[in-house]
Each structure stands twice: as structure tokens, then as C-alpha cells.
């Protein structure tokens, strides 16, 4: 807002408003605080506050008979989590699936995004961007159940592989990874596409003029410049995979992931303290991942 206008407006308003306006004008810090207080309050109360509540809850326990909370601090939940081998197995499996999904998405997204950004005509580019975005308009559940049908015994995948003597992976961890990779692919393609779009064509031409092969150009020019974008995409694919518990219920067969442990303790056992303790694992895993990612400068690409 223009300062002159502000002053004219203040003259017409009652004295109190004018005084307040003048006060804010003289104290930019107060003005800033006023502007930011609502979003900051949201961040502090709704986000950090709930994390803090979760941390406190994880130290409580439940009366197993009445399922009422027992508000006495104990480390039992963490002891169980660390000593029962099953939680370690499930945690490692979840990290493995999240990493696999990220790698698969990156491998598919790089050539796709490269074609979109550097090869396709502007018209084809717009169509391809639309094609990548369209699946995001369909419900998550619809897509997961579609994969369930495709991966089923008499499904499309088995039918297509039968002539060559193969068969699909059936329901299980592999099916879960495939479905998750499909679900989160747009979240990888879009940042990589944006990163490649920013890459000047002249760099590729210069590399070619200096005699580099296509492979060399990719390794020495494209990859280093686009890596932060890939890492930015991986934040989405990794964290979304780590937190997912529905896909594995639909196509995971008899398998489970770490988010299921949390979900089962809320929904089945009504053991919120244990669920809270377990939920700290993905939080810590993502925080660690973000710390590592920060060094690559990928956070500037978001």
C-alpha cells in the first residue's frame, strides 16, 4: 500500500484507528508480528503443538482392561519398540520399500521429464504435463484398487505375462512397491521437469560442441544440475511411502509396513501411547532424511 494513501485514509477514520495505524507505521516489527501471528500460531499450535502432545503421550500407557489412559511417565513403549525384533524388521522393510519406490520413480521420471523439457514440442509438452497431472485427480483408493485387480490371480498382468511363461508378483511387498511407485510418480516427475526446464539448452549444445557424447553430457552436465530437483522429488516419494498404510492393506497380501503398526495400535488396540511412540520413528527418519537432503541444496528447489 502507498504511504500517502494510508495517511489520507487515516485522516478520515476515527482517532483510535488513526493512532493505531500510526503506531504500526512507526514500529515495523510489531507490524510484522501482527501479520505473521496467525500463520505462526497455526504452525506452533496445530503442528508443533500436536507433535509435542504426541511426544508426551508416548510416555504414557493404557489400562489394558478399560482402555483408559494412565498418565504416568514410563519408557515401556520405547523399550518394547527397541527390544521386540518384529518392530525392527517392519521398520527396515518400510525404509526399504520407501527407498525402492524413490529409486524406481527417479529412474522412470528422469527420461520422461527430459523428453518433456527438452525434446517435445511446446504443444506436446503441455499435453504431457496434463497427462502427468491427470492421475492426481483420481482418488487414491480407486487407483490402489485398480492395481489390486490388475495384480490379482486372473488379472491383466498375469494374462499379459502368460504367453512368455511369466506371472505377476502376486500380492505382497513387491506389489506394494509397484503400486506406491505408480501413485507417487507425478510427485517425482514434476520437480525434475521443473529442474530440467531451468537448465539452459546452450549448456547441452556447448557440451556437444566440445565433443562429449550424449552419455557424457548426461553424466557431467545434466545430472549434477538436475540432482537437487531429483532429491526434492525424492522427499515426496520417500515420505509419502514411509507414511502409507492403505496400499499395503489392499495389495500387500499378508505383509505389513510400519505405518500399519501405528494404525493398528490406534484403531485395533486403542493403545494411543504406543502408537505415539511408534509414530516417532517415521518422524525421526524423515528429519534425518531432510538433514541429509539440505546439504544438496534440494530444499531450494521445492
Partner 1 sequence: MRVRRSLGVLAALATTGLVLAACGGGSASTPAASGSGGGAGSTRMPDPPAGTKATAVGAGEGQLNLIAWAGYAENGSTDKTIDWVTPFTQASGCQVNVKIGNTSDEMVTLMKTGQYDGVSASGDATLRLIYGGDVAPVNTDLVPNYATISDFLKLRPWNAVNGVAYGIPHGWGANVLLYNKAVVTSPPDSWGVVFDPASPYKGKVTAYDSPIYIADAALYLKATKPDLKITNPYELDDAQFTAAVDLLKQQKGLVGEYWSDYTKAVSAIESGNTVLGTSWQVIANLVQADKKVEIGTVLPKEGATGWSDTWMVASKAAHPNCMYKWMDWITSPKVNAQVAEYFGEAPAQTKACENTSDKGFCDTFHALDKAYADQIAYWTTPTKSCGDGRGTVCKDYAAWTQAWTTIKG
CB-nearer residue toward partner 1: 267 or 297: 267
Nearest to 184 by CA among 192, 195, 196, 172: 192
In the complex, minimum distance from the CB of residue 38 to partner 1, in angstroms, rounded to a whole number: 30
Least Å distance between CB 274 and partner 1?
8
Among 78-86, 96-104, 124-132, 221-229, the segment contacting partner 1 (CB under 8 A)? 78-86
Q: How far is the CB of 2 from partner 1 (least distance, A)?
A: 53
* 270 binds partner 1 per the rule CB under 8 A: yes
Q: Which is nearer to partner 1, 147 or 187 (CB)?
A: 147
> Which CB, 90 or 229, lies closer to partner 1?
90
Cβ proximity to partner 1: between 74 and 149 the closer is 149
271, 282, 289, 301: residue in contact with partner 1 (rule CB under 8 A): 271
Considering only 64-72, 94-102, 192-200, 202-210, which stretch makes contact with partner 1 by CB under 8 A?
64-72
Q: Is 188 in the site for partner 1 (CB under 8 A)?
A: no
CA distances from 208 to 63, 198, 202 (A): 70, 19, 10
Alpha-carbon distance values, 271 to 113, 133, 249 (Å): 45, 39, 20
Answer for which of 24, 25, 80, 290 binds partner 1 (CB under 8 A) is 80
Read off φ and ψ for residue 63, nearest 5 degrees: -75, 120
Distance set, CA 239 to CA 5, 82, 206 (Å): 48, 22, 37
Q: In angstroms, what is the minimal distance from the CB of 142 to partner 1?
A: 14
Binding mask 83-102 for partner 1 (x = CB under 8 A): -x-xx-xx------------
Q: Which helix (H) or strand (E) holds 97?
A: helix 85-114
For residues 91-102, one letter each, b for 16 or more C-beta atoms within 10 angstroms of the residue's C-beta and e for the rest, the string is bebbbebbbbbb
Buried b (16+ CB within 10 A) or exposed e, 264-296: bbeeeeebbbbbbbbbbbbeebbeebeeebeee
Vertex 248 angle, CA 246 and 250, to 5°: 75
Query: Least CB distance from residue 64 to partner 1, whole Å?
Result: 4
Kindly state the cell numbers that stand for 92.
527396515
Sequence-separated (6 or more) residues with CB below 8 Å from residue 248: 176, 255, 256, 257, 259, 260
Closest to 194 measured CA to CA, from 129, 240, 245: 129
Measured from the CB atom, the residue of 18 and 170 that comes closer to partner 1 is: 170
265 binds partner 1 (CB under 8 A): yes
Site residues for partner 1, 108-167, by CB under 8 A, read 148-149, 152-155
Which residues 231-260 are close enough to bind partner 1 by CB under 8 A? Answer: 250, 253-256
Candidate list 8, 37, 50, 67; residue touching partner 1; CB under 8 A: 67
State yes or no: residue 62 binds partner 1 (CB under 8 A): yes
| Grid cell digits, residue 98 | 520407501
**Rg from Cα positions in the chain:** 26
How far is the CA of 159 from the CAs of 138, 150, 165, 177, in angstroms?
25, 9, 10, 21
CB of 267 to partner 1, least distance (A): 6
The residues that touch partner 1, with contacts defined as CB under 8 A, are 62, 64-68, 80, 84, 86-87, 89-90, 148-149, 152-155, 170-171, 250, 253-256, 261, 264-265, 267-271
Amino acid at each position: 500500500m502507498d504511504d500517502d494513501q494510508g495517511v489520507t485514509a487515516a485522516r478520515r477514520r476515527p482517532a483510535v484507528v488513526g493512532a493505531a495505524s500510526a503506531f504500526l507505521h512507526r514500529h515495523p516489527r510489531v507490524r510484522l508480528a501482527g501479520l505473521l501471528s496467525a500463520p505462526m500460531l497455526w504452525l506452533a499450535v496445530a503442528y508443533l503443538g500436536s507433535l509435542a502432545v504426541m511426544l508426551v503421550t508416548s510416555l504414557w500407557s493404557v489400562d489394558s482392561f478399560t482402555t483408559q489412559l494412565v498418565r504416568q511417565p514410563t519408557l515401556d513403549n520405547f523399550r518394547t519398540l527397541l527390544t521386540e525384533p518384529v518392530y525392527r524388521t517392519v521398520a527396515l522393510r518400510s525404509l526399504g520399500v520407501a527407498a525402492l519406490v524413490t529409486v524406481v520413480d527417479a529412474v522412470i521420471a528422469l527420461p520422461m521429464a527430459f523428453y518433456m523439457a527438452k525434446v517435445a514440442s511446446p504443444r506436446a509438452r503441455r499435453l504431457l504435463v496434463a497427462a502427468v497431472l491427470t492421475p492426481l485427480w483420481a482418488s487414491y483408493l480407486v487407483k490402489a484398487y485398480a492395481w489390486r485387480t490388475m495384480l490379482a490371480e486372473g488379472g491383466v498382468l498375469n494374462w499379459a505375462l502368460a504367453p512368455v511363461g511369466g506371472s505377476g508378483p502376486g500380492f505382497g511387498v513387491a506389489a506394494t512397491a509397484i503400486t506406491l511407485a505408480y501413485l507417487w510418480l507425478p510427485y517425482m516427475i514434476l520437480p525434475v521437469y521443473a529442474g530440467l526446464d531451468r537448465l539452459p539448452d546452450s549448456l547441452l549444445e556447448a557440451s556437444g560442441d566440445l565433443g562429449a557424447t550424449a552419455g557424457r553430457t548426461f553424466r557431467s552436465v545434466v545430472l549434477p544440475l538436475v540432482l537437487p530437483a531429483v532429491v526434492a522429488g525424492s522427499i515426496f516419494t520417500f515420505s509419502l511411502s514411509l507414511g502409507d498404510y492403505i496400499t499395503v492393506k489392499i495389495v500387500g497380501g499378508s505383509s505389513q509396513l510400519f505405518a500399519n503398526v501405528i494404525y493398528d495400535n490406534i484403531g485395533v488396540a486403542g493403545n494411543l501411547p504406543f502408537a505415539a511412540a511408534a509414530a516417532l520413528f517415521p518422524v525421526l527418519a524423515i528429519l534425518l532424511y531432510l538433514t541429509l537432503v539440505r546439504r544438496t541444496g534440494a530444499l531450494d528447489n521445492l
